[in-house]
Every structure is written in C-alpha cells, then in structure tokens.
Structure 1
Amino acid sequence: MDIRVKICGLREPEHVAAAAEAGAAYVGFVFFEKSPRHIGVAAARDLALEVPVGVAKVALTVNADDAFLDQLVDAVPLDMLQLHGGESPERVAEIRARFGLPVMKAVGIAGPEDVAQIDAYGAVADQLLIDAKPPKGADLPGGNGLAFDWRLVNRKYWPCPWMLAGGLTAANVAEAVRMTGARQVDVSSGVESAPGVKDAGLIRDFVKAAQGQAVPVLR
C-alpha cells in the first residue's frame, strides 16, 4: 500500500536514519520550546544534512515570526514549513510567498464544527495536516497522543493533499487509513518510549503497519 509516512519530532541521528531506512517519506523537526521534541537550529541543521536525498525535511513551527523563520530557512536545508499554531489563512499565504517553500498547515479537529476551516486553509496551503485538536489549556498544539473521530474526515476531499495525524500508533494506523482514506500519515508520540524519546523499533513497526504490513503485537 502506497502510504506516505512522516516521522516528526526527531532529535537524534540514529532516529533520522531509522526513519529513512524504514521508508518514511518525511522527517520532521520541532522548533517549539515547550515541546519535549524541541530542537535548536544548529542541531537541526546537522541532522538535516544527514537526511538521504528523497526524504523531505519539514520544520514544525508554532506562530513563528518572520525573524525566526528567516534564521531557520537560512540555516537549515528544508523542503517544507509546517505551521502548527493559530496562523490565519492570510498568514499562511504570506509565509508561503515570502519563503518560497511549500507550506503545510495543521488543522485541529475535535468535532464537526472544526471541519469547515479545512477548506479555508486548503485554498492557501500546499498540504494540510489534519490533527486532533488539543484540549483546553494544553501546552502543546500537537504531539499529545490524542486521536479524534476519524469519521469526521472519512473519504473527504480538499483543495490540496492532506495528512492524518493524532494518536496514531502501529496498532491503529492501518485502521485509521482504512476509515479515512488518508494517503499520508504523521506520527510523533506514537513512536516514542518516553516523551521526546524516539524508538527505532517503533518507527520501523509504524511504517510497516501504515503500509499494510504485519507487525508484532507486542514489542
């Protein structure tokens, strides 16, 4: 099954290598200090330089200003910017025009009332990340290990490609793909042994499961 997988929140060279070797299409670096997956610009540059050709390098930012994005884009060889905050459609379009990189906008979903905003962002972004909406008062806009009702996006079609995220693991990703028709999936906490600590075996299992291959029930 041709499902493209993004492994997000990478901080160690061995986990970048594990993601690439497993067949991930994207690797993501988180630039958000409240996150246990936060990485500095210099460290991200070193990791990005080791990513094999053909694997897209994505920078996750949260309501970042132009000064930080200038610094980031100048230092790190990136293929895409992921906006995971409260950026408006106008801000998404502005960033896309200013930096000349494809932009992925995360949209949080908790109930039917949240689905309508997807069309607005789909008109200005290159890709969408459909994620679980964080609970009120949460420190993190994503990576909380929460899923949402996948029926809300079942076989939906929007103006640009989209990626399913939120509470995915090797145990449920195949079902999530079946229920939603997603052709791309994103995982962060679902391949960790502790918050911010990736596990190479879990990364391999997740990619296999997403692509319809059998994986061990227990690790």
Structure 2
Amino acid sequence: MADPLIIKICGIKTPELLEATIAAGADMVGFVHFVRSPRHVSVEDIATLISQARGRIETCVLLVNPDNSCVAEVAALGPDWIQLHGPETPHRVAAIRAEAGVEIIKALPIGTAEDVAQIAGFLDVADRVLLDAKPPKGADRPGGLGDSFDWALLKALDPSIPFMLSGGLAPETVADAIKTVRPFGVDVSSGVESAPGVKDKRLIEAFIRNARAAV
C-alpha cells in the first residue's frame, strides 16, 4: 500500500479556520510570517495557533529569507516545521536547519528545466522539498499567487526524489495533479480562498475530499 498523501493547508490565520482545517482531516497547517503576504500572521498570533494545534495537526511556519533573529524567534514557538520560501541557498538552508533545530521544508520555484535541475542540491539540507510555480517577474512575493507550472517539466526529475506539490492547486484541479505528478504531498493556499487571504471552510473541505479520493 502506498504511503498516505500528506495534505497541507497553508495561510491559516484564525483559530476558527484552524479548527475547520483539523476537522476536515488535513495533515499539516501552515502559518505565514511575511508582511507582504495577505496571509501574514504575527509571531504572537502564530504562538497561539501553534498551541491550539499541538498534538492535533502538524504545524509549519512559512518564512521568506529570514534573518537569524527571526529564525530563533519562530523556532522558540515549537512548530513542527519551518518552510523557507525565499531565495535561500542550500548553504543557508543548512545553516537555518542547524540553528533552528526544526525540520525544514524548502519551497523551490519551478519554471524551467534549469529549476528542476537545481532540486537535487537541496535534498541533503532540507527535510522536504516543495515544488511551487515560479512567480512572474515583478511579483511582490514568492508564492501564494495561485499559479501552476508546467508539470511536464518534472518528467526530467529522478523518480526516486520525493516532493510535495504546490502552485495553482484547487478543489477542481488537485485530483488531476495527484494522478499526473504523483507527489507524496500537496499544499494549497489561494486555491481554497474566496478572496486573497480569506480562507473558505467549504473549499478546504472539498480540496481535502478530492485529494484523498485521487490516491
């Protein structure tokens, strides 16, 4: 039997939506600490949400090119994961993992064959890699834009490399993505929102239901 699919709902901001996400059967929940994102949550609020989630669902705090003080502050909250969603190099990812003592997800933007070729360089320094759509030039943030990438690019990837898939996933596309790309996990943010940063409980439920049915 295949390992169960990991489903991560990212960009949760309120206790109510956290409860809904847990009830819907997600495996991981993500909290965004990045001021330019419509999903930004303060460290104080993330602390409250992690306390609420502890022992019930895995927690992940998303950071973009954080400095050492930010890493230390977030690590002190005791999340299960830190997700790095900026231009961090393999060397920087390794340093953050060593300093934080927290498992690391490294998000990698995919837009070209060169991007796929760079995935291998992160496998030894991150605990998981998450493949996301490369943002368009001039975008004000590195993810959460609701775009997908050309999954055919992943045919060049060594099939033994496990990865999570993100980028443009939604309740109506996630089943096709799982069957086509065969990730071990999927991550959604804007695809379960009614407006930027505003999660919809019914869309979260539909996404999880459709993803589980596709495995």
Give TM class, smaller chain.
over 0.9
AA aligned opposite 2:30: G
**Correspondence for 1:7 among 1, 9, 18:** 9
Task: Say which SS state the counterpart of residue 30 (structure 2) adopts.
Answer: strand
Structure 1 residue 68, shift from structure 2 partner: 1.1
Q: Tell me the TM-score normalised to structure 1 length.
A: 0.92
Aligned pair in 2 of structure 1 residues 43, 158: CA closer, same or farther (>3 Å)?
farther
Counterpart check, 1:136 vs 2:137: yes
1:38-77 to 2 correspondences below 5 Å: 38-51=40-53, 53-74=55-76, 76-77=77-78
**2: CA distance, partners of 1:199 / 1:70:** 32
Runs of 4+ in 1 over 2 A off after TM superposition: 154-161
Where 2:164 maps in the other structure, the secondary structure is strand
Aligned residues: CA RMSD: 1.6
Alignment correspondent of 2:38: 36
Q: Deviations over 1:18-38 (max 9, x none)?
A: 111111110000010000000
> SS where residue 143 of structure 1 aligns?
coil
Please give the alpha-carbon distance, in whole angstroms, between the structure 2 residues aligned to 1:154 and 1:97.
32
Deviation at 1:7, TM superposition (A): 0.3
CA apart distance, 1:144: 0.2
Contact 2:170/2:192 (CA < 8 Å) preserved in 1?
A: yes
Distance in 2 (CA, whole Å) between partners of 1:166 and 1:209 is: 17
User: Following the alignment from structure 2 to structure 1, what is the Cα–Cα distance between the partners of residues 161 and 106?
Assistant: 11
**Aligned partners of 1:44, 1:160: CA distance in 2, in Å?**
31
Q: How far did 1:61 drift? A: 0.2
Q: Does 1:101 align with 2:82?
A: no
Look up the equivalent residue of 2:121 and give its one-letter code: A
Partner of 2:171: 170
TM-score, normalised via structure 2 length:
0.94
CA distance in 2: counterparts of 1:120 and 1:165, whole angstroms: 19
The amino acid that maps onto 2:24 is A
Q: Deviations over 1:117-162 (max 9, x none)?
A: 1000112110001000000010110000000011222494477642
Secondary structure at 1:211 match in 2: helix
Return closer, same or farther for 1:155/1:10 CA change in 2, 3 Å cut-off.
farther
Q: CA deviation at 1:87?
A: 0.4
Identity %: 46
User: What letter is aligned with 1:44?
Assistant: I
Task: Measure the CA separation in 2 of the matches of 1:114 and 1:56.
Answer: 28
Q: Partner of 1:114 in structure 2?
A: 115
Secondary structure of the corresponding residue to residue 212 of structure 1: helix
Q: Could you tell me how far 1:212 is from its partner in structure 2?
A: 1.3
Contact residue 122 and residue 158 of structure 1 kept, 8 A: no
The whole-number CA distance in structure 2 between the counterparts of 1:79 and 1:180 is 26
Q: Distance in 2 between matches of 1:186 and 1:176?
A: 11
Residues 70 and 160 from structure 1, CA distance in 2 versus in 1: closer, same or farther, beyond 3 angstroms? farther
| Aligned residues between the structures | 212
Q: Do 2:72 and 2:99's aligned partners in 1 also have CA atoms closer than 8 Å?
A: no
* Corresponding position of 1:185: 186
